[in-house]
């Protein structure tokens, strides 16, 4: 994903879990040992899971956007954030079901190893005082959150962030301005109790961190993304893999003694990057110097978004173990399905300020133009004909002298009927 950083910077910060695990291991060696032992047990169960086939496991997701006003503007404000949520969910659901459009580009020798996790992600239907749509809340702040604590302050309203919602019922994802080039970070249930910085990891910390500039997938050229990602939405694909206990395909050390513990991912010496040039299959290293080489196109390596494209069968099975009965993430799959996704295009049309004295701005962040616009009163009488608003543009709507009260802006959003309340006061 990273293209603008130096190789050394990428090796340190591409994914925050390397640093996270190193810090925890330094102060909590016994916890890490117990975690490794449990994961070994899970690895033994994984082949049994794979043999049973793939069911569908729906998981509600809540997005907590905690960014500065300038970052918020870069993301496209509320409509831009909703667009990114829609595109991000589409990427996750394709990647985790092996239905992504580039799955056919997996090299032929690795094709038989492609796994379908069965995990599917839908927006949670919860709301708060900060929500801009069900399952999505936004808070603007100038605070710089602390990388050393795993961004724990971003996850607490008392420290300037946003509280996560009940972790047993949804997967919490915080979108923030990260530091030092970090694009994402996962804190899974297996790390509960570990001391990070000066405080233990609690249930408030469980979930994902993703950089605001690597969130979602580009769907029009002017959309802002950091130069250190090529805007494919796969930072979260990678980090959610960590949440469900996948390790990097190269492990957490440099060498051949230990990698991810799975037999269908080849031994790998170190992370693979797409700079200065993208790797080409077959790509060899000290641990896999012949045959098919390393599996750099796996979601759990460090290549750019457009070069990572699959999980293996054992990776998929290991994730299924994490949502099996008796595991902390089992409850995530037992919740109502949440709201439909993607959110309707009408959610991408905002009118502000609303209420107003008669001067409104229509912001059309959808992929369709707004046409045949009229303002009607409660009786259905047309009081104003409004100009069309092209997609992804804004336009001022100034009403003539009308009585205070409730009105409706009606028209067409593409081929669909559009209606939204406006209040004159």
Per-residue pLDDT tens digits for 100-157: 999 999 999 999 999 999 999 999 999 999 998 889 999 999 999 998 899 999 999 9
* 270 within some domain: yes
Instruction: Return the higher-pLDDT residue of 9 and 188.
Output: 188
Examine the domain organization and report whether 377 and 289 are in the same domain.
no
Examine the domain organization and report whether 222 and 139 are in the same domain.
yes
* Angle subtended by helix axes 29-51 and 17-27, to nearest 10: 130
In percent, how much of the chain has pLDDT > 90? 70
- pLDDT at position 123, please? 94
CB 356 within 8 A of CB 424: yes
C-alpha pair distances (Å), 30 with each of 19, 56, 194, 360:
18, 35, 10, 60
User: Following DSSP, what letter does each residue of 193-238 receive, concatenated?
Assistant: T-EETTEE--GGG-EEEEEGGGSSB--STT----TTS-SBSHHHHH
Per-residue pLDDT tens digits for 343-370: 777 878 888 888 999 999 998 888 889 9
Examine the domain organization and report whether 256 and 388 are in the same domain.
no
Q: Which domain holds residue 312?
A: 7-334
Structure tokens at 252: 């957490």
Backbone angles phi, psi at 105, to 5 degrees: -85, -5
Residue 116: partners with Cβ closer than 8 Å, 6 or more residues away:
54, 96, 97, 98, 316
**245 confidence band (pLDDT: 50, 70, 90):** very high
In percent, how much of the chain has pLDDT > 70? 95
- The arithmetic mean of pLDDT across residues 247-256, rounded, is 84
Per-residue pLDDT tens digits for 18-70: 889 888 888 888 888 888 888 888 888 877 776 666 778 899 999 999 999 99
- pLDDT at position 338, please? 72
Structure tokens at 318: 């290991």
Examine the domain organization and report whether 152 and 269 are in the same domain.
yes
Per-residue pLDDT tens digits for 363-410: 888 888 999 999 999 999 999 999 999 987 888 999 999 999 999 999
- pLDDT at position 251, please? 87
Residue 180: partners with Cβ closer than 8 Å, 6 or more residues away:
9, 12, 13, 147
Q: What is the pTM of this model?
A: 0.85
CATH number for the domain harbouring residue 153 = 3.40.390.10
* 1 within some domain: no
Examine the domain organization and report whether 11 and 80 are in the same domain.
yes
Examine the domain organization and report whether 160 and 296 are in the same domain.
yes
Examine the domain organization and report whether 81 and 110 are in the same domain.
yes
Q: What is the DSSP letter of 285?
A: -
Backbone angles phi, psi at 38, to 5 degrees: -65, -40
Per-residue pLDDT tens digits for 267-309: 999 999 998 899 999 999 999 999 999 999 999 999 999 999 9
* 2 within some domain: no
C-alpha to C-alpha distance for 191 and 205, rounded to whole angstroms: 10
- The arithmetic mean of pLDDT across residues 310-330, rounded, is 94
Please tell me the total count of domains within the chain: 2
* 104 within some domain: yes
CATH number for the domain harbouring residue 357 = 2.60.40.3080
* 177 within some domain: yes
Examine the domain organization and report whether 357 and 303 are in the same domain.
no
């Amino acid at each position: 994903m990273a293209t603008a950083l130096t190789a050394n910077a990428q090796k340190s910060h591409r994914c925050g879990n390397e640093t996270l695990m190193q810090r925890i291991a330094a102060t909590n060696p016994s916890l890490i040992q117990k975690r490794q032992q449990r994961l070994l047990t899970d690895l033994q169960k994984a082949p049994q899971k794979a043999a049973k086939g793939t069911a569908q496991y729906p998981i509600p997701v809540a997005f907590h956007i905690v960014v500065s006003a300038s970052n918020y503007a870069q993301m496209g404000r509320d409509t831009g954030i909703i667009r990114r949520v829609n595109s991000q969910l589409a990427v996750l659901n394709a990647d985790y079901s092996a239905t992504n459009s580039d799955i056919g580009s997996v090299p032929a020798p690795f094709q038989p190893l492609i796994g379908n996790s069965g995990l599917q992600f839908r927006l949670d239907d919860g709301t708060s005082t900060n929500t801009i749509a069900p399952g999505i809340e936004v808070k603007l702040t100038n605070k710089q959150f602390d990388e050393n604590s795993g961004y724990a302050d971003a996850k607490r309203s008392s420290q300037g962030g946003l509280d996560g919602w009940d972790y047993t019922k949804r997967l919490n994802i915080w979108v923030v301005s990260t530091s030092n080039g970090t694009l994402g970070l996962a804190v899974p249930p297996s790390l509960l109790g570990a001391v990070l910085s000066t405080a233990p990891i609690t249930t408030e910390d469980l979930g994902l961190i993703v950089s605001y500039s690597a969130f979602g997938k580009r769907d029009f050229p002017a959309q802002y993304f950091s130069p250190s990602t090529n805007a494919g939405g796969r930072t979260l694909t990678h980090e959610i893999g960590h949440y469900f206990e996948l390790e990097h395909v190269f492990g957490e050390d440099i060498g051949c003694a230990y990698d991810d513990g799975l037999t269908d991912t080849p031994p790998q010496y170190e992370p693979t990057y797409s700079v200065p040039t993208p790797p080409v299959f077959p790509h060899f290293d000290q641990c896999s110097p012949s045959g098919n080489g390393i599996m750099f196109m796996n979601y759990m390596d460090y290549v750019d978004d457009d070069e990572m494209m699959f999980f293996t069968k054992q990776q998929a099975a290991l994730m299924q173990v994490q949502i099996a009965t008796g595991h902390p993430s089992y409850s995530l799959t037992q919740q109502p399905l949440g709201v439909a996704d993607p959110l309707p295009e009408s959610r991408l049309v905002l009118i502000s300020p609303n209420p107003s004295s008669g001067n409104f701005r229509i912001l059309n962040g959808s992929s369709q133009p707004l046409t045949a616009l009229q303002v009607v009163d409660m009786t259905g009488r047309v009081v104003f004909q409004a100009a069309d608003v092209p997609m992804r543009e804004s336009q001022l709507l100034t009403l003539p002298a009308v009585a205070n009260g409730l009105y409706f802006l009606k028209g067409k959003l593409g081929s669909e009927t559009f209606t939204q309340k406006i209040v004159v006061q």
